[in-house]
Structure formats: structure tokens, C-alpha cells
Amino acid sequence: MPISKKILVIFIKILILVLTCWFVYSKLTQPDSIHKIEAFTKTRFTPRVISYFIIVIYLAYLNLLLETLKWRYLVQKVEVMPWKRTIESILAGLTLAVFTPSRIGEFGGRVLYLNPENRVQGVLSMGVGSLSQMMVTNVAGVIGLVFFIKIFVPVNTVVMIAIAFAAVLISAGFILLMLNIRWFYIILDSFSFLHKFKKNFRVLLRYNKAELLNVFGISLLRYLVFSMQYYLLINLFIPQVTYPMSMMLISVIYMVQSILPTFAFFDIGVRGAAATYFFGFLVGDAEAVNVLAAAFGVWLLNLIIPSLLGVYFVLKANFFSATTD
């Protein structure tokens, strides 16, 4: 590698290290974050509380494992990745996701662990997985929103039926789109300025419906895992909220979060605001503030801690050649 490229790579890696550490430190030392941490530390550590924390931490590991499984399953159409390298690429992606809008850096972090000639196809393969996760989130959110409106918003029967019918159509549309991922190839191929990437776009034609259903299934499992994390932490602070009611509100919160473009680092702000608003309908604004601690816990376990672990794997990665084990 030319010396100029080596200097550039070193500079980029140092910049990523500094940005990640600074962002995480500045967020965790903000007054609202300190209050949320204090909410956890003031919790009485009864056997029930300890068991909940252990389960939530285990679920964070399971969440990461499922995402690794999905990414490895998808990327095998491009390049075979050993499990170890797949996990490293996931963590590297989370590091770059922290300070990029809509977590776009996650794509770049993951494909650093692919051979350079496969990286564009890798981005598209990851896009299939991200689309699948978004579909699950939005379908669950639409269903949750229907029940939310029925319970908390006074509307007449005709309007409620229309809303339910629209929800069915939207959900069916999402699923249809997911199972026909090749439509995106047709759309991309219609732009003449993208024709030079046509051979890369063909990766979208390699996934059949059975494989896409498997990806959808893994995405659904992930959704259930991080939703359960949220519920368990909420149950610690607001034990009177039932599981069905919590899952309904959580589904709407995640949908709102997925729709609004934001930096992953500030994701806790969007999630916290949505959680306070929607749970406020159920328990009142004063008690709904406790949900912020639950949102903070999920954000910390699923994003911040893995992103800090991923710093090492970003530093280890080769930007202009293949990253090996």
C-alpha cells in the first residue's frame, strides 16, 4: 500500500476512535443520562430484579447473535465469512453507526470485512436484511397503532374499520415488497447512470422467496428479543403495566423510531420522547418518565456497549484490501 494511503487509513481510524469515545462519553455524562443511570442504581436488587437484569443482558447477546446469523446468511451469496469475522464485522458496523445519520455508517463498517471487489454487493445484501427488519418493525407498529387508536382515541365504528382495513393493506404491502426483492433490481436497472454497477445489483436476484422468508423469520425473532428487553425493564419501573399493553405501545414506539431519520447516537432521545408520550396515555406523564430509564437500558446494551467493543475491529480492519482473521 502506498505511504499516502497508509497515512490516510491511520488518520481515519484515529478520527473514528476519537469520535466514538467522545460521542459516548458526552452522551453518558449528560444530566438526563446520569438521572437514568441513577434510576437503575436506586433499584432494590431483589432476586426478581437481579433475574430480570440477567435475562435482559442475555437477550442483548441473543440479539447480537441473531443479527450475526442474518448477516452471515445474506452475505454468503457474495462471500463466505467465518463466524468470527462475521461477528467482528457486526461490531465494526455498530461503531460507525453511532455517529452517522440513520446508522448509514453501519453498512461501511460491515463491508470492511469483505474483499474490496465484493463490498458494493455486500452493501446491497445488508440492505436486504435492513429492509426485512424495517418491515417487521412497521408491520408490528401498524398493528399496534390500530389497537392504540381503538383504546385511547375516540373514533366511530366506520372510521375504526377503515383504519383496520388500511392497516391490513399496509402490512400486506410490506410483506409483498420483502418477498419480491428483485423489484429493487428492476428499479435500480432503470437508471442509466447506475448501469456500471449492474453486475453488483444482480446479487438481489440471488435470493429466492424461501430464503427471504428465512431472513424475515430471523428479523421477527430479533424484534421479539429486543421488545422483550424493553418490556422487562419497563416492568421493573412500572410493574402494573400488563404484557399485552406494553407490547402494543412498544411496537408503536419502535415504528416511530424507524420512520424518523436520526443519528444512532441520538436514538435514545427519539425513543425516550416517543416512550414518554405513548406510555403517558396509560400511566400518566409523571410515571411515564420512568420508561426513559428502560429505553436508556436497551439503548446502552444493544448499541453503545457493542459500539465500544467494535472500535478495536474498526482499527483492525483493512480499508483498501481484504480484512482477514
DSSP class of 323: P
Q: What pTM was computed for the model?
A: 0.85
236: CB partners within 8 A, 6+ apart? 43, 49, 52, 294
Contact 129, 212 (CB under 8 A): no
Contact between 302 and 90 under an 8 Å Cβ cutoff? The reply is: no
pLDDT score, position 322: 61
Structure confidence by residue, pLDDT tens digits, 245-299: 999 999 999 988 887 765 555 556 666 777 788 888 887 766 767 787 888 888 8
- List the single range of 39-53, 140-154, 175-189, 258-272 with lowest mean pLDDT: 258-272
The Cα-based distances of 180 to 131, 207, 280 in angstroms read: 12, 9, 39
H-only helix segments in the chain: 3-28, 31-41, 47-75, 83-97, 105-111, 119-152, 157-179, 182-189, 198-201, 209-237, 243-259, 267-283, 285-288, 291-299, 305-316
Q: Provide mean pLDDT across the span 93-110.
A: 83
pLDDT of residue 224: 96
- Note the pLDDT of residue 211: 94
